[in-house]
A = this chain, B = another copy of it.
Amino acid sequence: MPRAQQWVQYFLSHRHVTMELINKIDEAHYDFKPTPTSMTAKQLATHMVFSFYNFANVAKHGDPALFQPKMEDPETNLAKLTETYTEKTKQLLESMSDEEFNRTIDLTAIFGVQMSAKQLLQMAMDHEIHHKGQLFVYVREMGHTDLPLFVKRG
């Protein structure tokens, strides 16, 4: 399988679970947070979908200047926002050539290191999986008990 297709598959195997969890959050729970110092459900979900898109955009173009410290979008429905950014992220990943995956990107200004695009994408995956783990606890605390496995294969 081509490198780009492998990454699309890997991304979606986790993102589809993220979407399933976000689809369970009704608007009444958008401001839910498990403790006073936690992110709200809305902040957490938005942070996840913006971050992966942001990382994938930098990875695709090999340009750290594309990193957006603060993204915004007028869409207020979390499920719709997630669907839109999942599609945009998927399109970026599937457009990547092997050269683009292997290219070194100077991320010293953002993360203090240089890394290849594929290392940046692995960091994006780890970030998604980390926050998805938190989201599982949030959604269970909202009263949902019929939850998916942490990853959806095949």
Contacts and interface: CB of A to CB of B under 8 A. Distances in A.
Contacts of A131: 133
A111 B149 CA distance: 13
A108 to B, nearest CB: 13
A132 B138 CA distance: 14
Contacts of A145: 37
A129 B127 CA distance: 9
A153 B37 contact: no
A39 to B, nearest CB: 10
Contacts of A26: none
A20 interface: no
6 contacts: A34-B34, A34-B140, A34-B141, A111-B153, A113-B154, A130-B130
Interface of A: 14, 34-35, 37-38, 111, 113, 123, 125-127, 129-134, 136-138, 140-141, 145, 150-151, 153-154
